[in-house]
Amino acid sequence: MSKAITTNSRGQWSRRLIGHDAVIFYILISVVIISMVTVNYFASTLTVGFLLIQVLPILLIAMPMALVIVSGEIDLSVASTAGLTSATMGVLWRDSGLDIGTVMALSLLVGVLCGAFNGFLITTLGLPSLAVTIGTLALYRGLALVVIGDQKVASFPKELNAFVLSKIGNTGIPVMMIFALIVIVFFAVLLHFTPFGRGLYALGYSPQAATFVGVRVGHAKFWMFVATGIVSSMVGIFLTLRLASAGPDNGTGLELSVIAAVLLGGVSIFGGKGNIPGVVGGVLLIGTLTYALRLAKVPETALIIVTGGLLVLSVVSPSVIAWGKERIRLNRVHREVQGQSASGITRA
Amino acid sequence: MSTVTHAPAVPRSSAFKRFFTAREIPVAGALIALIVVTYIINPRFLSPQSTKDLMLNATIMVILAVAQALVIITRNVDLSVGAILGLAAFGTGTVFDMFPSIPLVLIFVIGMIFGGLLGSINGMLVTSAKVPALVITLGTLYIFRGVLSSWAGSKQYFSGDNPKAFGNLSVDTLVGIPIITIIAVVITVAVAMFMSSVRSGRDLYAIGSDPDAARLFGIPVGGRVLSAFIACGALTGLAGVLYASRYNSVGALTGSGIELDVVAAVVVGGVAIFGGSGTVAGAAIGAVLLSTITGALTATRVDKFWQQAIVGVLILAAIIIDRVVSLRRARKLRVNEAKNV
């Protein structure tokens, strides 16, 4: 209760300015400024283009993933869903003779089915999402291999490949960012401005309590996993067109990068905490740092250490700060008690 | 609570019945069925050479699964095992490069200490920062892999660089069983006995079922979890040394991506992903099952592309069976309690 009082008196804005997601943006801005000054060629429109195209898959999947983690679940099968989509798209395009629009629509259906299957196992059967999605991680990647074998399909329309890589005017910003922005706004509104989104926070704090206040827990979880599946499929299609190649191994290993970025963005792995701006900041921070270090000719291997270090630091530092605060509080209580006993009040 | 008080009143299930309701039975049954069916289709599946290969392929996975089970039983997870395995394997190559005549026992000790140190980093971060192991070890997965990559660069050690006796560990056999497989079996049995009959081993189950209750009960939760991580790291380090003996080359990418396979093996083996139940023997059988499937599919001429999909189906089946069994058991307990009121 005392906590609630202090936060109220501090005011909403000052709280926002020292929150975790704000800190992420301060770090992001400092990284950008430092890189612009110290790293050659960083301050150019080319940077914007390359950087954004690089982080786009992680940025897209991070949106539904943030919602899933806020609701206290996790989805490790996203990269495999993207791979299965890519494989399906390749085979459909090669063998079915349908036009590319239909092929892409059918490929998106793969994501819907993958997500719905995850959702079914987790909500209807009540299985833990961590275990289920480790299983479907293997299953979907395996199905991708079944669908396409070890072949590649690369004969996609050239205009489409070019479109995916095209930039808006000469700003350097990829056209695909407009699409990404739509996805970000969609999930931000869904999480922050709808009863459904507020329900996800309640769900993350306590599923029982959420049930009692009328959140349709199973229903909400199911659709979260479907949404994750759809977005993963979009990323599968995007990767296929960007690389101009459909194969079973597209997107391998993406799941851990996405989760790292989401957690760095301040979403609590326990659920119930986190927001979309923070996650966008987290994704951009990892992306920018990686890109700047790469331009500065820091070896690739050091980059992985930086990603891991950032992740550990971002989760350990709140605990350290909380521990420090608790120590200070305990010291104060200790002193007060001592003061009281010194003034003559002894045990009753 | 009342189950404990009324336990004598409930007719004790016979040893026979208890054996068949054990959590390892479904997975062990699946393994036997797989071997029998494959043998009927293709008798060469159990030829001496092929059997030896099957055992060799399962060895490293078995040790990793036993190590991981220790941590998962305490309601934690260690995703950094792939990187620890890689570091230990590459470290083994490096040590042999510097001291070619080092005694073999010493290389195992070094590998285990090295792995244990890395595990203790995970353990200390998890216990002192009170952050879920999933997140911490995801971070250390990247860090350890990065350290290995910058250490190894493009360098690789080949089996030819190691002493002959070291490589022979995975060639020589004792009554038809490769030496390194015997090591894995001994470890599994030792850890299984520790977990089932030593007090601190039972504590790990208590911590996994309910950490708060375990703390109230007086179990040193932090210390036990830390030891579980150190043990996991040390066993993974040992697996890394054996990896260097078994496989032709070790380098920067050794063991990458293996972490989810290990967790999958443990889950298939009937260890609950949220801790508190399951056995290391089950985890070991799960690892054998997953690594035998590859050989079985090849022997029965199933399209090799189906292999990973089948692994996925198995994992899901294991979780579903586990869920059904535990629901049934919970209902039975309730019925028994109601009878005793």
Say if the Cβ atoms of A304 and B143 lie within 8 Å. Answer: yes
Q: Please indicate whether residue B326 or residue B43 has the higher confidence score (pLDDT).
A: B43
- Mean pLDDT of the region A258-287: 88
Which stretch of DSSP H or E encloses residue A80?
Answer: helix A78-95
Residue A269 has pLDDT above 90, yes or no: no
With a pLDDT cut of 90, the percent of chain B lying above it is 39
Q: How far is B274 from chain A (nearest CA, A)?
A: 8
Tokens 């404990």 appear where? B4
Say if the Cβ atoms of B305 and A269 lie within 8 Å. Answer: no
Residue A240 has pLDDT above 80, yes or no: yes
Say if the Cβ atoms of B305 and A260 lie within 8 Å. Answer: no
Chain A residues close to B146, C-beta within 8 Å: 301-308
Torsion angles phi and psi, residue B174, rounded to 5: -120, 120
Q: What is the pLDDT of residue A86?
A: 94
Among the listed ranges A1-10, A77-86, B179-188, which one has the minimum average pLDDT value?
A: A1-10
Q: Is B186 on the interface with A (CB under 8 A)?
A: no
Q: What is the pLDDT of residue A348?
A: 47
Residue B159 has pLDDT above 90, yes or no: no
Handedness of CA A126, A130, A131, A136 (dihedral sign): positive
Q: What is the pLDDT of residue B330?
A: 83
> By the 8 A CB rule, do B320 and B27 touch?
no
**Which residues 6+ apart lie within 8 Å of A61 measured at CB?**
A78, A82, A228, A231, A232, A235, A254, A258
Q: How far is CA B30 from the centre of its chain?
A: 18
Residue B77 has pLDDT above 70, yes or no: yes
Cα(B281)–Cα(B62) distance, rounded to whole angstroms? 9
Touching B: A residues 81-120, CB under 8 Å: none
- Mean pLDDT of the region B280-292: 92
Q: What is the pLDDT of residue A3?
A: 44
Among the listed ranges A56-70, A114-128, A200-214, B72-86, which one has the minimum average pLDDT value?
A: A200-214
Chain A residues close to B69, C-beta within 8 Å: none
Average pLDDT, chain B: 86
Among the listed ranges A136-150, A156-170, B188-202, B255-269, which one has the minimum average pLDDT value?
A: A156-170
Interface probe with A: pick from B121, B131, B311, most Cβ of A within 10 Å: B131
Q: What is the pLDDT of residue A345?
A: 55
Distances (CA, A) of B242 to A338, B46, B58, B63, B171: 60, 24, 12, 10, 12
**Which of B135, B146, B274 comes nearest A305 by C-beta?**
B146
| Complete DSSP assignment for A92-106 | HHHHT---HHHHHHH
Q: Please indicate whether residue A238 or residue A37 has the higher confidence score (pLDDT).
A: A238
Among the listed ranges A96-110, A163-177, B37-51, B61-75, which one has the minimum average pLDDT value?
A: A163-177
With a pLDDT cut of 70, the percent of chain A lying above it is 93
Q: What is the pLDDT of residue B14?
A: 67
pLDDT digits 0-9 by tens, B3-36: 444 444 444 556 666 666 677 788 888 899 989 9
Say if the Cβ atoms of A146 and B303 lie within 8 Å. Answer: yes
Among the listed ranges A53-57, A150-154, A311-315, B67-71, which one has the minimum average pLDDT value?
A: A311-315
Cα(A251)–Cα(A80) distance, rounded to whole angstroms? 7
- In 3D, which of B102, B110, B244 has the Cα closest to residue B170? B244
Is the complex ipTM higher than 0.85?
A: no
Radius of gyration for the alpha carbons in chain B, expressed in angstroms and rounded: 21
Q: What is the pLDDT of residue A7?
A: 45
Confidence of residue A182 (pLDDT cuts 50, 70, 90): very high
Say if the Cβ atoms of A301 and B142 lie within 8 Å. Answer: no
**Segments in B42-129 forming alpha helices (H):** 48-73, 81-98, 104-129
Which of helix, strand or coil describes residue B262? Answer: helix
Residue A8 has pLDDT above 60, yes or no: no
Confidence of residue B252 (pLDDT cuts 50, 70, 90): confident
> By the 8 A CB rule, do B266 and B286 touch?
yes
Chain A residues close to B286, C-beta within 8 Å: none
Which of helix, strand or coil describes residue B341? Answer: coil
pLDDT digits 0-9 by tens, A248-262: 888 777 887 888 889
Q: How far is CA B22 from the centre of its chain?
A: 18
DSSP state of A246: B
pLDDT digits 0-9 by tens, B147-158: 998 888 888 888
Q: What is the pLDDT of residue B9?
A: 44
Q: What is the pLDDT of residue B8?
A: 44
Q: Which two tokens stand for residue A237?
A: 């299609």
Q: Is B315 on the interface with A (CB under 8 A)?
A: yes
- Mean pLDDT of the region B182-196: 93
Confidence of residue A327 (pLDDT cuts 50, 70, 90): confident
Confidence of residue A1 (pLDDT cuts 50, 70, 90): very low
Confidence of residue B2 (pLDDT cuts 50, 70, 90): very low
